[in-house]
Structure 1
Amino acid sequence: MSRPLVPLLFGASRCNGYIRLRPFSTTRVRTDAAREAEKAALADEQARIYAQFRPVVDAFDAPIDMAVAYGSGVVKQANKTGPPPLTDFIIATPSARAFHATNLRQHPSHYPLYARLIGPSALAWMTDKLGAGLWYVTMVKFGDLEVKYGILSTATLTRDLKHWETLYVAGRLHKPVLTLQVDPSLADPLAANNRAALSLALLNLPEQFTELELWEKVAGISYSGDPRMSVPGAENPDKVRNIVRGPGVLGAFRGLYAPHVAGAGLRWADQQRPGEPEEPEEAKQAGEAEGLEWRGAGERALAQPSSPEHAGSLLAALPLRLRQRLAAHFRPTVAAALLSRQVAAERREIRERRAAAKAAKGSRALYDDAEFWQRVAAQDGFVEVVNNEVRHIIKRPALAQSVKGLVTAGFSKSVVYSLAKFKKWLAGRKKK
């Protein structure tokens, strides 16, 4: 049984015919009757959207470890008009070959002719080795729903969640989605992915910022290096803003990141600082469960420490691949050590700490050194270096996957799908 990860939009799972819910209180004072009414309304909405999209997953005989529905067809965006969009799904499978072998027999029409001819082994190789590791099928019908679904191996998904190898699927899961099925083994990688996203967002924010600004930074990570954002007709330039301001999405972001905000050094800007008088006991209890007591419509100001120690801890919480790239950029070089006594001293100190860690059978890598990241955080312009590395991770796989998608969908479907995206872009331009 998969456990729920986020209320409302992320992690709906059935238990004896009901949707299991997490606590979701969002105001300081609320009557029991109001709480129960809101809980009942939330349960009804969860049940409705789950019942609408779960049959798509049930329609597959192929093995599935995780299935999520995402995009504007599931998570409603602000300023969204026009015909209903395709419903997007991501499906993780323990074996891409086994999935394609079964799916070719069950749903052969989902594949273009050449894909049916080359067989499951070749399809599995193309799935895993090209682009961002997905095979996309578009414009297929499941009942009344028109669907686009991407297939990837669970191993590919896990690597992206933990290490941000491409940030293609990991970036989509930074935002609220509807979880229809998830294997318990993916719970820790999913949580690690969200902790890293929160850390990167905070690095890009000042000491004080609004809650909506925080979620916009989180939601914008996966688009930061995506070439589609700069191609007319590929994506709406206001997409990030519209995602965060969609109906019900604010509560979903709060639930998704509630387990991580307490450990990120966040507080409300109007709360007392250390040494000031404490809040009333009832106020503390109201926010105790989730680390922060969520109130308002996202306009309330949050605050974080402005010290290099705090920024260094955020850098140290980034995924391994990104830390390795940053360590290579900021590591003191031999050439710099010849010109600067300070750099030479830093190189000696780093070597000594790594030798001591090796002797103690501890971490020997520079990218695990907390003091190193504090020094990086004290340098001017380090955030832009971080962002450049994130864009570099995203750009090539996103471009390759876009080209791959044209091949996997087949020529005619690709043309129709691209024209539909261009019409959506034109509609968005006319509103401005």
Structure 2
Amino acid sequence: MIVNKALIGVSSTYVKLLSLFPQNITLCFAYGSGVMKQSGQSTGKRNMIDLVIAVEDPYKWHEQNILWNPHHYSSLRWFGHNFVASYQENWGAKMYFNTLIKLPDSDTMIKYGVISRASLVTDLLDWNDLYVSGRLHKPVEILHKSSNTQVRAALQQNLHSAVHASLLLLPESFTETDLYRAITGLSYGGDFRMIFGEDKNKIDNIVSPQVESFRELYSPVLKSLQDYVEMSKDGQMCWQDTSPGAKNFHLNQLPKVPQRAVVKQWNKDRGSRRHDTEDSLYALAHDPECGHVVCDCLHHIVFASSARQSLKGILTAGLAKSVRYSSKKIVKMLKSTKL
């Protein structure tokens, strides 16, 4: 018997779930209230399981998946797997979602997004969309571990980037929970769906029951930044160096896309004179509005990608499923606004 090392430690339920798909998978993880504990939610049959599947070749993967699971797709499948994969690669956040899929012999519903390995790595390193990278800022259930060294390195770099960005948004003193809220908020601030369609308490609902999981995820990162941030043993008090030198360090560690955005924004506010990246980041580090500039630029990235992906989802899910899925989101949002 050949044992797939990538699946060691994964529950039999998830192994069975993964068996439904073509097996040339680079990475697969589950996220959301159907998998991870959230306040106000109960993990179980009523909550849909959300998956992200990274594949080496989306064209070959969709070709096989359409043969295996044609009912997962909307009418776009009739245009062929090349069209489906091209639509995935060239529109929105480089992801193709199939949603409201009922598992065989079960009442469980799943939604899964497919992304190429190349697009996954790019978003993890550069935050060009802050879409899949944002999901991986939070604890997730890894169903298929990646053996690709580039992917594994990018996953770690994404966590480091999240801490650097969050420290720029936080004051000199804060709590451990404040840090995890800031990290979670990186991919929710500016999200098109947060305006209309998402639980308004989403960030707190994610962080509050998962502090220990966040701690496990980020402890190695924080340990590497002991010269810049200090945390009490109980996590009730954290202190960071907010000097211009520390801010300049964090700004220089930001991923490429938000770093370019903050430089562009800072230069725009200075008028016609332009500074290079090094000079701009150094000057911004001395600006009291540094955190606000970073925050605004991250919001713009998230808004653009979430809006494009939401519009894209109307075609990938089909109109009927889109209405059903959106209505459930709206109901959750309305419940969250009630006092």
- TM-score under structure 1 length normalisation: 0.72
SS at match of 2:143: strand
Distance 1:238 1:2 in 2: 39
Distance 1:336 1:122 in 2: 45
2:176–2:231 Cα contact (<8 Å) kept: no
2:27–2:54 Cα contact (<8 Å) kept: yes
Counterpart amino acid of residue 142 in structure 1 = L
Q: Tell me the alpha carbon deviations over residues 224-256 of structure 1, each in whole angstroms, 9 at most, x when there is no partner.
A: 11111111xx1001000010012xx11111111
- Is 1:87 aligned to 2:59, yes or no? no
Corresponding residue to 1:263 among 216, 224, 232: 224
- Is 1:202 aligned to 2:175, yes or no? no
* Structure 1 pair 70–2 and aligned structure 2 pair: CA distance change class (3 A): farther
- Is 1:111 aligned to 2:73, yes or no? yes
Corresponding residue to 2:321 among 413, 424, 427: 413
Q: Which residue of 2 aligns with 1:135?
A: 96
- Is 1:390 aligned to 2:326, yes or no? no
Q: Tell me the alpha carbon deviations over residues 291-317 of structure 1, each in whole angstroms, 9 at most, x when there is no partner.
A: xxxx44x5x111111211111111111
- TM-score under structure 2 length normalisation: 0.90
1:163–1:319 Cα contact (<8 Å) kept: yes
Counterpart amino acid of residue 227 in structure 1 = F
Task: Give 1 or 2 for the bigger CA radius of gyration.
Answer: 1
Distance 1:255 1:268 in 2: 14
SS at match of 1:74: coil
Distance 2:265 2:22 in 1: 47
Counterpart amino acid of residue 253 in structure 1 = F
- Is 1:213 aligned to 2:178, yes or no? yes
Q: Tell me the alpha carbon deviations over residues 1-44 of structure 1, each in whole angstroms, 9 at most, x when there is no partner.
A: 999xxxxxxxxx654xxx3xxxxxxxxxxxxxxxxxxxxxxxxx
Counterpart amino acid of residue 413 in structure 1 = K
Distance 1:87 1:335 in 2: 50
Distance 1:97 1:14 in 2: 24
Q: Tell me the alpha carbon deviations over residues 277-331 of structure 1, each in whole angstroms, 9 at most, x when there is no partner.
A: xxxxxxxxxxxxxxxxxx44x5x11111121111111111100122122223335
Distance 2:265 2:248 in 1: 15
Unaligned 5+ segments in structure 2 are none
Corresponding residue to 2:116 among 150, 153, 157: 153
Counterpart amino acid of residue 57 in structure 2 = S
- Is 1:305 aligned to 2:262, yes or no? no
**Deviation for aligned residue 1:395:** 1.1
SS at match of 1:223: coil
1:32-431 equivalent positions in 2, closer than 5 A = 50-80=11-41, 84-112=46-74, 114-143=75-104, 144=106, 145-185=108-148, 186-231=151-196, 234-246=197-209, 249-264=210-225, 265-268=228-231, 295-296=233-234, 298=235, 300-331=236-267, 335-336=272-273, 366-367=276-277, 369=278, 373-430=281-338
**Deviation for aligned residue 1:425:** 2.2
Distance 1:334 1:222 in 2: 30
Q: Tell me the alpha carbon deviations over residues 174-227 of structure 1, each in whole angstroms, 9 at most, x when there is no partner.
A: 001001113232111111111111111111111110000000000111011111
Distance 2:24 2:42 in 1: 36
Kindly, what percent of the aligned residue pairs are identical? Answer: 31
Distance 2:283 2:331 in 1: 49
2:137–2:158 Cα contact (<8 Å) kept: yes
Distance 1:161 1:374 in 2: 25
Unaligned 5+ segments in structure 1 are 4-12, 20-46, 270-294, 338-346, 348-365
**Deviation for aligned residue 1:334:** 8.8
Counterpart amino acid of residue 203 in structure 2 = V
**Deviation for aligned residue 1:384:** 1.0
1:160–1:169 Cα contact (<8 Å) kept: yes
SS at match of 1:189: helix
1:167–1:394 Cα contact (<8 Å) kept: yes
Distance 1:315 1:304 in 2: 15
Q: Tell me the alpha carbon deviations over residues 62-88 of structure 1, each in whole angstroms, 9 at most, x when there is no partner.
A: 521110000011111112259721110
2:76–2:315 Cα contact (<8 Å) kept: no
1:62–1:98 Cα contact (<8 Å) kept: no
Distance 1:165 1:182 in 2: 23
